[in-house]
Every structure is written in structure tokens, then in C-alpha cells.
Structure 1
């Protein structure tokens, strides 16, 4: 029970607690001043008119001044009276509307207060309210007036509005409550006071379950009717003392409901006094306040009838008065299980000392077990499993156990031979794949039954054990993997004939187990639940919601089979370590088959793949590129994944150290010389892409591109755009040319995302976050933060990529420095130390170096030697004739530092080969040909 505030007049909230507003009282406008100007102006006008015209008749207009002033005053008074009448009518209408709203809100508030604080009459007529949990620890001493949450604002200065505000602040006919811990003494005539005391005691016993409220002995004169109350036999909860006039309050009493005579001293621990003046009329004194109330009275015969009904309820639902809260051992009950073949009978508890049996075959084929935390749900599941293991060998029944509430509930059963495996929520993706493997188990059993020429597992020709799938906390399983609900619905629909049975444990049934699954689970067991809707959904009654919490209610349950007219009450039997040891001896002739394959290995070599592919019935075709092992739990297979001749390409995405480069190394290791891998060095990357743009490799080859999203940052924007466009064109052309494209990237940014859409197959390797995984095209539900390197998703399957025999290392021979060989070579370069070193190296080779101006001054003097004419871009632009001669008939070298002047000096409109800045690179244009890259001596 919940504690409440000590105030007698505490109220609960109502649905509509917005204040109701009244308009302010109307105030008449101030009297307008005498309109002097309006009165004087006509007089002045008339005098002026007389002076101009000389006519005495014009002076008559002076009378208009006083007339206009008087008319103005009269009109203002008339308007004020009209506004006053309109305001009075509006105020009356607003008060009527607010008054109606106050009445309606009081009705709603009154109904909610009585629903929250029912008296004996309301509790006795509403079966669902008896022993409902979460109730405030208070007593309804009667019906009276109390503070209301309804508020009226506005109407200041209006006496009628003030009266309406006073009426709204109090609600009549509402329950007047008193904190139960305050204690109350009923004072009055013996007959009336005893009837009111009986009503208060019954109200407390109807509101609070026996494990929440214990009625203390001894019972005084006239209180023997209370012997039938179940609250006399339970020792838990608060201790209530019910005493008569002059009797002593027990020392261990927490709560007191006493009866006294007028003028006698009050009993201890009674803060409130309820004085009865006449039948139904009393006043309550508490905390310095006096409140008139109408009290409820119960005759002795009525009290005895209600007490007997409560006793029957407690006996039916809990067995509290029969000592049923004592633990029940499992082993003595096992002898009650019949030694019949075909079914799966199991004893799970006892009802009135008789064993209670359930049969998953006859009563099922599937079951739902509901109960709040601490009710005994896990103990029931373990008892059920051990009861079956004790009477059936592993040749007859096997178990797959799933614990999704912490991973320890079934630890003690792992060594039982019937148990093929225990999966937990701590196992992550392994738990999901194990349950998905049950689809393959369905198909395997269908094939085995068909091969035996039988219709179902009940045929003696079928030699398959029944498989019982037990899930503790089914809601948690669906919370982690909501897509598995359809799998369980499929198992429930097809499991009967195939010998697969479900036992689903859950705290809630409503909103967790869908109707199509629940319809196939006719065997229902419910321990204590907090929501009556769960009890109705499973049992058809609210009995399970009325079970008490605490020690007395632990293990109390109801079972309802498909053929039961009403639920059967029982107490669950508890297993012991000896029961586990006995179950371990029931070993069959055949080792039970595990219904799922082990998880993919974290490390896989190419040799492992070659060996697996050779042993597979559906081996990859000759010439296929092996990738790794795929996981197909729904088929109980782990085939080799590969790239065949018909595959157009593969896009590999993943985070750092996820295995993207290893995937390309793996392909290259198998294709050897038939693989063209684009280098990472910017200049060689440009050359390789340009070569592939001109001519694709022969059919059957592969082009490998690693770190595609890193290409653009390594090149200037112009070159990055060209390379990206050429790679996109290469991907588009490769499929028709029989060339396999394998591209690796980390992020789909910019043009990379456009290229990614061209690949029909995509391997998504591990990422650090679910967002990155989804951005790469992965299903967010398949994200695994603990995935090892090389673990990914391909074609909707989990894949473990094999390790390549060796990592690819980019290596190349450096280009030899270029030496002028033509008679005349023009060099466009800015003055720099690197340029001077290059010129000096040429001079050492016998090449004469001249400036542009020097050569123009004496061109004939050097006609017989190899000459290099060097100048800055501006020097050459001033000598256009020399530039045209060198560009058209000789060699022209343009240093990479003059890239911006290349198009101006040569007229070349394309993109020259990429030159790395500061690396001693230049472009050579021989006799007007396209530029080529050269290396300058250093």
C-alpha cells in the first residue's frame, strides 16, 4: 500500500483542471466634461456672420452652441446606460456558462474521487477493485464536502461572481478520506458505532490483500465475525488492531480502528474522532478541523457474508488458509507422470495436495508462461524442463534454451544431455543466428518425415526427438530482434506436425505476443501479473492479477488448457540439484543433434577456403574467385562465397582496419597476373587510369581500386574530377568487356556514391558506429559493434572474409632523369634552386644553356650545338616567334611550377599528365605533340 499525505482533504487530479474565467465586473465610464468648444464655436460664428451681413437673423445661429452642448451630454448618458445593460447581460450569460461548467467538473471530479477511494458498497460490487495493487493507504470515513481542484478566476468586483468562486472551490458528495496510519475511533451509540466500525474494517480488508494487511488478535466482544477474514491468517504487511470500548490496543499495532463511548478517553494512536449523532450523520475531527459527513454502516450479517466471500477468494486464488505457501518439492511428484509414449506429460506443481500435469503434445503444442519479476517464472520453466528430462531420454525430447534476462537462469541445465544449447542475450548476434537456424530445422524435419512416408512426427516410423524451445523473457528477445516474431509465428503454425514446441516466458502478454502467435499457444500458465488485461488474455479471467506479491504469492499460478472450462489454481514445484543429476542420467542411444551450426571462424585462410570448396556438394565453378565463408543459419549451411564469371563487380566498404584492402589482396592473390591494381601514388594512378581509359585489359582480367574515396583528396580538383569520371566510365564498360571490377572504399561521399550504385554486389565490412554502417548501405539491424576484422554482410548473408596470403605492396622503378637530345630545346621555368640544378646537370652532359634574350640576340652562333633556351613564362610570351618555332619543330619543356601557363604557351586544351608538385617534374611537348611527363635531373 502507498502512503498518503496526512491532510483529510487531499484530492487527486481531475481530467480538466484549467481555471474557468469570468469577465471582470462592468465599470461605468466617467461622466464626460461640458463641451465648451462645441458650445462656443456656433456663438462666435453667428456674431461673425452678423458683422459681415448686418442681418440680425444670423444671431439666431448662436443658440446652436448651448443646444449642441446639451445634446452631447445627453447622448453620452444614454450610451453609458446601454453599455451597462449589455455588460450585465453578458456577465449573467458568462456566469451561467461557468456555473454549468463547474457543475460538470464537480461531477467528473466526484466520480474520479470515488473511483480512487471506493467505500464498502463500491468495493463489494466491483470485483476487479478488490485487492487491487497500488492503492493509497487511506480510509473513506464518509461522504461530505471537500476542497475541489476546480478554480474560477475573474469577475472581480461582481458579488455574484464571488459566490460562484466560493461554490467552485468545494465539491459536495465526495469521499472524505483519512490516512489509515492516523487511526480512528468511532464514538456514538453502541449499535450505530459498531455498524460504522464494521464498515471501516471491511473497507480496509476489501482494499488491501492479506499479505498487505494483517488483523491482529485478540478480537474483543462483538468482533468474532472477523474470524472468517483471510487477513487473520497472514502475518505480512501492516498490523491492524480492531478494538472495542475500553479495550487495550496491542503494542505491535501499526493501524487502529477503535470504538468508544461518549465522554471516555480516546484510545492511543487514534488521531481522528468520528462522532455519530444519528443514523448516517456524523462529524469528523482531525488535525484541528471539523467536517460533517454522511457515514456508511454495515450490519453484522452483511459483514459475515463479505468476510466469508473474502475467505473463499483467498482460498481459491492463493491457498493462504491451507498452508499452501510452503515450498513444494518436484521429486516426490514425478511418480504421478504416466509412462505413456507419444506425449510429453510433465508435473509442474500441485493443487490441494494433488499433482498438476500438463502435456505439450495433448494440451499444446505450444505454451505461454506469464508472470512479473519475482513471481517464480524462471523456476517454473526449470521445473518443467527437469520434469520432462526425468521421464524422457534425449532420444525422445531435446531442448534449446534461450535466456534473455541476464544469461544465468539456465546455467545449471547446460550439462543435461537433453539440452542442445543455451543461448543468452549476452551472445549478441550468436543468439539471433541460433534462433534463425530453426527455419532450417523445420525443413530438415519436413524432409525426414516425408522420407519416412509419414504425415507427422507421431508416426512410429519417424525417429526424431521432439524439440522444445524454451525462451525466458520473450519480450526482451523481440526487443533486441523484432524481426524474429515472424519466425516464432511460423514455428507455432507448423511445429505440431514436426515435433517442435515453444514455451514462451514473458512478463506481459498484451502487446508482446501477437494474436497469430498466441492463437497457436493454447496451453497458458500465469503467475502473478500486474495488469488485469494480461490475465484476461491468457486465462479469460482476472485471477492472476489478484495474486498477491511478496513471499506468500511467489509460485502461485493458474493454468488453463484448451479444454478447461476455467483456470486451475496451483503452486509451482521447485527443483533441487538432485533433480538435475537425475535428469543427466537419461542419456539416449544417439547424441542429440544441435539445431544450429557454430559461429563463423574469426580467422580464415585462403587454403581453408580451397579445402572447404572442394568438399562442398555445390562447389564454386572453376576460375571463381573465393571470398570467404557465408553464414546461412536459416539453411544450416556455411557455403563458400565467391565471385563467378557472370559477376560484374564487387564493391567493398568498411571502416579502418576492417579488411577492405585485404579483400582486394585476396582477389589479386588468386588472379595473379590477370589483375590490374591501381596504384596509390598520384602520378602512377593517373597513368594507370589513363591507360585503362584508352584500352581495357583482356576479358577474364580484374581491375582493383582500393581507397576510392581517398582518390580525390590526393589530387587537385581538376585532376580528381577527371580520374573519378574515368573510373566511373571504366566500371560501366568493364561488365560488357568481361572485366571484373573490385573497388574498395571507406565512405560513400560525393561522386563515390554515384559509382557505388553501379555495383550489383556490395560487401559491407565492420564500422565503428551503426550510423556509418547504415550510410554504407547496411541494414541497421545487422550492425555488430563487436564484429572482427573481415566479418561483413554480402547478399543479405553474414560473411567471414578469408585472409590474403600476403598484403600487396606498391613498388615501382623510378623514372630516369630526362636529358635534352634535340638540337634546340626550349625550357619554361621559374628561377629556383631545383631549376638551376637541372640546368647544371645538362651542362655537364655537353648541353649549352642560354637565356631567351641571349639566344634571340645571336641565334646563328649556336646552330651547331645542342642548345637549351631557358626563360620564365613572361620571357617566352614576349618572344612569340621563337616560342612558335620551338613548340612546332623542336622540344618544349614546361616545368610543373608553370602549370597555369601551359595552356597559354602551348594552346593545349586537355589535361596534361599529372605532375606531383615539388618533385622535379615537367611536361615535354615534342614538335607539337601532346604533353608527356618527364623527370628533371636533381
Structure 2
């Protein structure tokens, strides 16, 4: 397991928590009875009287039968008119009530949609702050790792259970008339609405452990331990080991339950080591834990203080400490059970009774098992000396396997020490740490060059992002999941451009076999950028000192152009393959083909090269156009960017790296924003832009640092033989090597000279290994050879004819 540093990213804003209140209208009232029946009848009397008078006219003595019929009809119509007038008031009342009821139910429906939106927001906010413990493995692999600090309100806050919770938004019922005066349908709808949304089921229920000195569990033992595992895992994922420590006090019969805690970086001592590494904060002696817990003396801390304005906040000097007690011997009057410790909490799984006279703040949780689910309840004393049991809901639990999986994800991560993030080379990123190499001198190329998944091919870390994660550069084309094949690096003097190029090339060499990747390294000004990289078996050519050598410039043009032609002819002759990708696929399927490595062409100070020899722009454009299919990857680097000269080439550059630039305009030309101009003056800070993806800020690795062998104690050796020791939670005394006769160390493992750098050590380990790269360039001849050195046969036989020239002879220019 390789240890790597992790720097927590600035915390992302959590989803907002809903606030405010929702007002309700008063339900409609029952309409007042209309003074109607008799009044309506009185209003109809004049018409009835007139109708009666006309009926009497028709019913005069001696009238015909038709007159009697007409009079009867007039009387009946008068009575009908009176009846209609009297019944009209009741119909209007019903119609008004129905309309008011319809409007009110529509109002409730609108509020229902609003409440549901607030419920969704509340669920999202709470599950973001307190995710399901079963999903913590994904949180541990994200930018949210160790996001909480002592200044955050949710520091040391953990999810206990999933249960009902009140709606965050207040539902404000209206002031109404007496219930007897309200429409019963509308009033009942309002009552059921308020009752339905009074609480929300299945929401995370959390507690802040800083408020308690002790959390005492009782009830079902396995369920209580599952809850405790979930609490410890949450604390480890969201809090940095710098701010929070985890310790376990257990007995011999319970130690195996908590073996997984040994993987947590929060449970490791800062400075003390044993035979397998840092001492684990797991012991059957509470006194030993008190001694190990802090850089100072844990016992000197004051009594427990709930968080407030005048309390001492957790810090690197006094981290918040979580002590789990399961089976260890602790007297009932021990301070941990009574007064507690400042910035510490005891998770007590012993099931011991909590005395009511204990002054310390204690949270009592009772675990129970109902079928497959564990449930949790809060227990508080009542006035009668009994207990009030308040169910919280379904407990947040984790199995030992789940907690161990999360702990193993966190195991290789460490917080940088003091001064490691400061300016200067004290803050340089460990190159070997980025690549997972424990000891550069022990690198085995054959093992490092083992076949990798296609995603890892031509993909290497070049530094660390602000989140503490590796900043990776993948020069494969986008169709293969990469960000290449061509790119550009711009950085002012002193920005670390040369060091970044060395880091990138060396990382590619460590990760890729010479049969997979070769290099052509060009430095127009003849600096020391690629010094020492010619030893790599991947290096096909190192071309320098071109500024004052016109013949060498022309020769380089010919060599690079010839390599492009050679690759085209090779693909055509091998089977008319359209691209190197097809060639490799055929070779992988068993077709007998020679390896054809990808070619990584790195040109430093390309702006000056184009300014002096503009014909190279045409060559670079050709490489940009054909390199994708021929397996040629181009990287152009310079201190300044001349936009006018590379206009035709810009469309082929898919990734760009901007270190500190001379001006805001140059930064915008490279990255699209002016941020690179504001980078610190410390070398190595930069931005990576891949296509349209967001900018990635990083700090580059440093391969020119002096090689430092691993610290003593990090690996156990005995008489030259390695011993496998099981990594356990208990203390393992360091093995003492037996005295042996002094002997000269083997040359391969002799102590390196002080001036030897990481680059030199790694290049030396790879030198002469693997298949040598195809040479497209030989160094120029500084001194012309003599005739007898070139043609010994001709000089020896002066009377004979000269031998035929060898068609394989190399042109030295």
C-alpha cells in the first residue's frame, strides 16, 4: 500500500434547507339562511291577486265551460309562481356554497404542490448532509472527503437513524369561525391536510456528538455495535485525521470486532512506530490510550464542555477524540464515565447503567431488533424515576465488512504535515508517491511495465489537484477515453515548465513499456530540460542545441518527416491498416507483427523554433493531422505564445497546460481565462484545460529533488530476508536484526551520492531494460573521424580498390 497525501478541497455549498411558512385561507362558512320563504311569497302576492281577479272575471254566472277552464289555469299558474318564488332562495344558497368549496379545495391543492416541493428540498438537504451509511464508500472517493472542519456547525454530527421529522416549513393555519359555522367538507380537508404534512417519514435523524461526553448504548448488543460502526465510519469519512482522532478500548474477547479500525488514518499515532508502521490507537489499557491520544497529555484536558462561545474548539493540537469502549475494564468512578474530557466523547457499548447523579451530558440510545432491521430509541429519565423511551426510527447501521471496506479506502491517505503546503521546495509533491512507488531505487521495470487496462495506457499523474487527488494527463485521443493526442504547455521563466516536462516524460516511462511508447525530445535552445532522459530505453532521440546549428535544424526536419513516412509505409506493408490502433488490435489477436510503439514528440521552446524556421509549422500541422492515426503525439512547450504563428495548429491541440504566464493576455490565449497570470510565483502551480472541461488547478510533481531512501522502520528486514508480518491492531515490537559480519554492500544497493536525484535513480533503474527504441537520430560528430577509422581496409590495402559503400551506413550530417 502506497501512502499519499490528501488535501481536503474547499467545501461545496450544501443544498439549501427550506425555511419560512405557508399560510392557509379560512375555510368557507355555511351561507346565512335567507329571510326568504314568507318574504318571497309576499313578493308574489300582487301577481297572484291580479291572476285571481282575472279568474273571477272568467267565472261570472252563465260563463261557458271554456271560461271555467281558463280561470282554473290562471289559478294554478298563480300558485306555481308563488311556489317558485319561495323555493328560489334555497337553490342560490347551495350554489354559492358549492362554488366556495371548489375554490377552497383548489387553494389547498396549490398549497399541496408547494409543500411537496419543500419536502423534496428538505429530503435533499438532509440526505446530502447525512447520507446513508451504506453509500459512504462512494463519498470517501469523492471531493467531499474530510470536508468538515472545527468551524463548521455540523462538525462531529452523525446520522443515528431514519425516522419521522417535522416539516421544516411552518404550516400556518388560519383564524376561523367556530367549526359549526364552517363548511364541513372544506374544514375536514384542511384538518386532514395539516395532519398529513405535520411530519415527514424516513428522514435522517442526526445528533452532534460535541454536545455529549458519553453516548451509552444498551439493548440488543449486535445492533448497538452495528450503530457504533456506522458512527465511526461517518466520522472518519467527513473529518480529517488532523481534526478528529478515533481510539478503541477493548478487551481480549472483543478486539476482533474492531480490527477494521486499524485501517483508519484517524486511529494511527502521529509519531510512534512499531514493527508494521504507525502504532494503532487500540488497546486494552485505557491508561495507554490516554498516553497515545494527543501530542500533549490527554489527561490534562479539562472536563467536558458543550459547544458554545467560550469553549475551546477542536484543533490540530487538541483534536476531537472519539473513544469507543467495548469490553475494556473501566472503573465506575473513572473520569471518562463521570466528568468526561474536553473535545472528546465516549461511545460506551458495555451496557452499564447510567447513574442519574452523573453530571456529565449523556445520550442514552437503546438498540433493538425487529426482523431484519435494527431500531433505535432515545432514553431519558422521567420525574418518577423511570424511563421515557422515545423511538427514533430505523437505526443507521453498517456491517463489519462494509466498515472495513470504507476504512481500506481511507487507509493510504495522510494529511500533509506542517510546512508541506508552504512555498518553496518544502511543499514539493512527491513524484514517487504520485506513482505509488515506495522506493525509487527498488523499482523493478518489468513489474512496472505490466500490461494495464486501456484506460491506464498513456495516462499518468503529473501532480495533485486542490482536492488532493492526482491530476492526470491522458495523451490518448478522445475516442479512446483520453484528452489527446496533442497539446501545449506555456509557462514563464521560473514557473516550473522544464520540471513539469521532466515529470511528464519520466512518469510516462515508468508506467509504459518501451514497446508501448517511445520519446523524441527536442530542446531548441539547448538547455538542461531533458538532461538524463537519454538513458531511458524509451528515448528514440534527444535533440538539443539547434539555435546556432542550421544543418542540425534541417536534419531534424528530415528525421521527423521521415518517421511519419516510415510509419505510414509500415502500416501499409503490414496489412494496409488504417491506424496504429488497428495495427495493435491485429497484433493483440495473434497476427505476427513487430511492436510499433506510440511516439511522444516533446518540443521545448517551439515559439523560438517557429520564429527562426517557419517551415516547421507545416511539419507540426502535418503531425497534428496525421498523428492521431499514426500514433504520434505532439506536445509543444514555450515561455511565450505567439498566436499569429500557430493559428493553423491550434485546432489540433486538444489539451493545454498553463503555468504562471507573463501577462493576462497570454493566459487567456492559452486557457481562455486570465487565471494563470495570478498563480503563485512558486514553481509548479498550473491549470490544465482539456477540451471544454472545467479548469483543473494542480501542483506539479518534482523529479529533480534529491533521492531520499525510505525511512528506517517502514520495512522490516532481517539478515537480508523479508518477513511477512500480519498487520494487526495490537502493538508489534520491532524485530531486532541479529549481528552479522560487516560486509561491503552490493553495488546496486550502495548508498547513493548526495547529489543523485529521483530522476537519475529511476532512469538508472530503467536503463538497458526492455526493447530499445527505434533510433531516428544520432548525435552529431563533434570531431571529424580519421580516414583509417572509417575505412581501415582501404588504408591497409593501398593498391586495392575501395570497398563498396554499405547501404546501411548512417548519415551523420
| TM-score band, normalised by shorter chain | 0.3 to 0.5
Q: Which gives a bigger RCO, structure 1 or 2 (Cα 8 Å, sep 6+)?
A: 2
Larger Rg: 1
